[in-house]
Amino acid sequence: MRVRPDVTVVVIAYNDAWRLPRAVASTLEQSLGGVETVIVDDASTDGTGEIADRLAAAHPGRVRAVHLPSNSGGCGRPRNTGIEASAGRYVMFLDSDDLLDRHACLNLFAAAEDAGADLASGLCDRIFLDVPPGAKGRVRPWYPWLYRRRAVYGPLEEHPDLLYDTLSTNKAYRRDFLDEHGLRFVERLHYEDLLFTAEAYLAARRTALIPHRVYNWLVRERTPAPSISNRRADLANFADRLEIHRRIDMLFALRGAHDLRRAKDVKFVNHDLALYLRELRDRDPGYRSRFLDLAAGYLAELDPRVFEEAHPLPAIAAYLIREGDHAAALAAAEHGGAVKRPELRAQLVERDGRVFWGTGRPRGTLGRRILDVTDFGFHLRPLKDLRPGNTVTLLEVRGGRVRMAGYVLNPLGRIRPDAELSATLEFGDRRHRARKGRVRAAVRHEGDRLAWRAEFDPRRRIRPVGFVDPVWDVRLRVRVDGEDVVTRLGEGPGSPPLGGVELPVRPRLTRLAADRLRSYVTGGGHLAFSLESGTPWARLAGSTARRAATSPAGRLAWGLVGRRARRTEKAVRRTLTSRTTKIAVFNRVLSRLPVRQGLAVFETHLGRRYSDNPKYIYRELRRSGRPVDAVWSYASSPKGFPGDARLVRRGSWAYFLALARARYWIDNQGYPDGLRKRPETTYIQTWHGSAFKLMGQDQPRVKSGSAAERARLRRSVERFDCFLVRSGHDVETLCAGLGVRSELLPAGYPRNDPLVNGVDGDPELAAEVDGLRRSLGLDAGDGRRAVLYAPTFATGPKGRPVRLLEPPIAPGVFARELGEEFVLLVRPHYLCRANLPPGAHAVMRDVGDVPDVTPLLLLADALITDHSSIMFDFALLDRPIVLHLPGGRDRTAGYFDLERHAPGPITRTEDELVAALAGLDDADAGHAPRRRAFAERFGEHDRGTAARTVADRYFPAARPRHKGERRRKGEYRRRGEQHGRTA
């Protein structure tokens, strides 16, 4: 009696004699014993059929071969034939150029049996054979998010996301299930998988998913004849795909499954269409327009809701194709690609306070909803992150000189007409960014774009080395009011053909290496150059060099010396500049150097800003003329830091050297972990706010963490020599939580001195506040009051901060209800960014970029916050505070019951907040006593003298310095005084 095999693997093959044995071997090697293999040969002409027969003969009972009488031209008929021929309880499909994982059958069979599922599906890995083994991007899993964990789903409605995985090959189907529902592949159409899987998902009572890889899809991109499903260049191919989609739509419509149909169409927009659109740039114009016509035809049939449910950029692309705006559609598709920081190649328009994609005015509510890209923050992003597209309109060589011209988009007029502009063209070796040729370009503001133009002699300006730098690309660096915007040159509307222009160059190595850079356009649509030679001698030299490099001896030499040298060079550079090295050198070498008396290193929030307590201590030291040699650390840009201090970049050698030799460290957060503070250095830790949220060792995350992590925290806190406290509350909570053992200086916070004293005695700060007021457009004539909205960050579902801060009241509502009376200053936590639409400008201002919060507090008439520590500071001003805690934000564990001790009213909804603001003055009489008690409790030591107290405690007073007086160095040491040079 013949026992039924557990699984039949149907291997289909067409003219693939060389790979078929490998595919069949992967089924014979299965860890599940009861596997039968059925090879279906689609009437091959290269001997595949004979190979199949030979395999069947070699493994009787385990392998069978079936031959189709004539070629079917697709995968449908061979697979159907295979199903008919199969004996197994489950059927799987394998293409002759792919491989099954060794445990695929066992895993799928067990999963299906355990769950009683009709269909079991596992992960498919695409393996890109053109990428060398071990390199990044060789193995790319197919929709891995579907396969994160094992799952059993009921009907498809429960989990329509399954529709994303439309492969038929990574699955096992119960044979009886296929028969019961008459499930077979359509023939004579490509993408038969899509329809087959949709029908199977729909029919399955139960579907099991496993995270195990079951199928290896071997992809060969650089090949003269890509496999059938990868031939996207063929227009008929796309027509087939649309036909399949229409049939799936019909299938769902017949079953009344409109939600599923929509889910499938959303997937079409997100995945299928986007895939084609991103390749469209490479196609010829005829193909492009016929393609877009086909697509527009199908998109017109879709439910408009599909556009709303799809991801924003693919939805914009699909919508604009339907509307006929092809350029903007392609720009959206490219912007939505997998590129990390995509270019912005479309114009944007601002209408009614929102930002829309494309130049045209969006039509209808649907258009307005789809094209709205306000949330992307193009109007707020720093210019250098905007990455506007750059289109070349002229590229020619005449008389040995190159003339180039083009334009950079200026979306939303972000670059103002009065901006100071300059530009440089940078030609660079793609492999070695350091090798560059720079050319000045003339640049002119033309409204919605910047036109540029350059003319130069490439032989003098661009000097390739030869042989080692075969590919060059070019960027335009535009300097706008001191800020650099780097754009890549590319083709676009108005471009002449950019390929094939030859720039004469003289390589440094030898003229035999090459004599010109020949332009071409990359797959991403950018202009690039390849180093080539025109003369026969040079060509001979080039081919000789290449042959030498690729000869066995050359390869050996390269492998032994060249590659290793390069790797070593990289490794050495990485090691030398790594933080670990710097910290080790700091601890072992730098901190043995003599301390420079009077040298103080200041840092605020890891160098992010010039602000907070260190700033006010610094100002006090300067004001009182104390002889301090000040160094400020900055994280990325020295902009905004004081000019009369030495500035060092955080993490640089100069930074570590300054820290090693400093007499004082003054900081509000923490210097790098692992730095051992020497005993001669005094670390004044000012901290950056009283605590409501649990701190340090009190945080659950730290408590449950490793002992090493806690020890690290302890070590870094043990470095403090002084810790500023504002009240007994700080001592009980903050100091206990962090485990501070240093001297606690009950001085209050230096940053709060102006809040207690006012700015009258401090003209510098008064000017700063006035300047801020002016720059925010809140002049005295305005008459509206400023309300500061400054919440802390909200934690997202993954425990990370939510990056976008929405205003607490919709701008429209705010304008209507409170716009006459208030202006809202939105201050996001420094980890976040405010999401204000341009239309909100009338009533709201983003003050996220203001480095120091103290002037903001001074000019704010009221504060809205949640459990941010800003409330403890603002309370000192005795101005109204509203605690806005939507969605149970107060349930965050804290050191005290916020509701009971709140310094003002608590609101939970937008309406409540509007009401609270509208009745601010009337209600204030009731809240003032509580607020004063709050201020008294948490600002116990804030008496307006904090900065002076710190200075007096640690810094000796300035002594008048007489000219000509020379002091011996030993004298300082004996007296223990710390005089440096005065600034």
Partner 1 sequence: MAAPRDVFIVCNNADDMGGLQRWAHHLARLLAGRGDRVTLVGITRGTRPYHHGRDGSYAVEVLHAEWRPPAMAWRPATLRQRLDVSARARDLWRRAAQRRGAARLSELFAAARPGSVVIAAQVWAMEWVRLADTSGLRVVGMSHESYAATRASSRYRRVREHYADVDRMLVLTAEDADAWARNGMTNVDYIPNALHVTPDVHPTLDLPVVACVGRLSYEKGVDLMLEAWERVSARHPGWRLHVYGSGPDGERLRAQAAEAGLLGGAGPTGSVEFRGVVADVEEALVEASVFALPSRAEGFPMSVLEAMAYGLPTVAFDCAPGVRALLGERTGALVEPGDTAAFARELERLIEDPDLRRALGAEARASVLRFHPDTVLERWDRLFDLLHRDLPSGDPAGEPVRDGREPVLEGDSF
Interface residue list for partner 1 (CB under 8 A): 2-3, 5-6, 18-19, 22, 25-26, 28-36, 59-62, 99, 101-104, 106-107, 109-110, 127, 129, 133, 139, 144, 147-150, 210-214, 216, 218, 699-707, 893
Q: 724: which strand partners?
A: 745
3-state helix, strand, coil in the chain (%, to 5): 40, 20, 40
Shortest reach from residue 620's CB to partner 1, in Å? 40
Which is closer to partner 1, CB of 1 or CB of 300?
1
Shortest reach from residue 228's CB to partner 1, in Å? 17
Which is closer to partner 1, CB of 25 or CB of 540?
25
Which pair of tokens denotes residue 125? 């890995």
Q: What is the DSSP string of 3-46?
A: PPPSEEEEEEESS-TTTHHHHHHHHHT-SSS-EEEEEEE-S-SS
Q: Is 438 helix (H, G, I), strand (E, B) or coil?
A: strand
Shortest reach from residue 371's CB to partner 1, in Å? 38
Shortest reach from residue 18's CB to partner 1, in Å? 6
Which is closer to partner 1, CB of 130 or CB of 849?
130
**Count of Cβ atoms closer than 10 Å to residue 366 Cβ:** 14
Which is closer to partner 1, CB of 25 or CB of 556?
25
CA distance 838 to 289: 35
Shortest reach from residue 734's CB to partner 1, in Å? 18
Which is closer to partner 1, CB of 213 or CB of 264?
213
Which pair of tokens denotes residue 853? 């919060």
Shortest reach from residue 28's CB to partner 1, in Å? 7
Angle formed by the axes of helices 910-918 and 811-818, nearest 10°: 30
Q: 38: which strand partners?
A: 10, 64
Shortest reach from residue 898's CB to partner 1, in Å? 15
CA distance 808 to 435: 50
Which is closer to partner 1, CB of 406 or CB of 737?
737
CA distance 477 to 428: 12
Shortest reach from residue 201's CB to partner 1, in Å? 22
Q: What is the DSSP string of 488-514?
A: EEE--TTPPP-TT-EEE---SS-TTT-
CA distance 103 to 91: 15
CA distance 809 to 84: 64
User: CA dihedral in degrees (542, 546, 547, 548; nearest 10)?
Assistant: 100
Which is closer to partner 1, CB of 21 or CB of 360?
21
Which pair of tokens denotes residue 444? 């002119």
CA distance 155 to 192: 22
Going by the DSSP 8-state scheme, the letter that residue 82 receives in this structure is H
Shortest reach from residue 135's CB to partner 1, in Å? 13
Which is closer to partner 1, CB of 522 or CB of 699?
699
Beta strands in 300-435 (DSSP E): 348-351, 354-357, 390-398, 401-409, 421-429
Which is closer to partner 1, CB of 705 or CB of 739?
705
Whether residue 99 contacts residue 169, with contact meaning beta carbons closer than 8 Å, is answered with no
Which is closer to partner 1, CB of 35 or CB of 823?
35
Going by the DSSP 8-state scheme, the letter that residue 677 receives in this structure is P
Shortest reach from residue 588's CB to partner 1, in Å? 22
CA 282 to each of CA 276, 353, 534: distance values in angstroms, whole numbers, following the listed order: 11, 36, 27
Which is closer to partner 1, CB of 133 or CB of 763?
133
Residues contacting residue 31 through CB under 8 Å, at least 6 positions apart: 102, 103, 105, 106
Shortest reach from residue 143's CB to partner 1, in Å? 13
Rg of the chain taking only CA atoms, in angstroms? 35
Q: CA-based angle 806:694:632, to the nearest 5?
A: 75
Which is closer to partner 1, CB of 37 or CB of 597?
37
Shortest reach from residue 55's CB to partner 1, in Å? 12
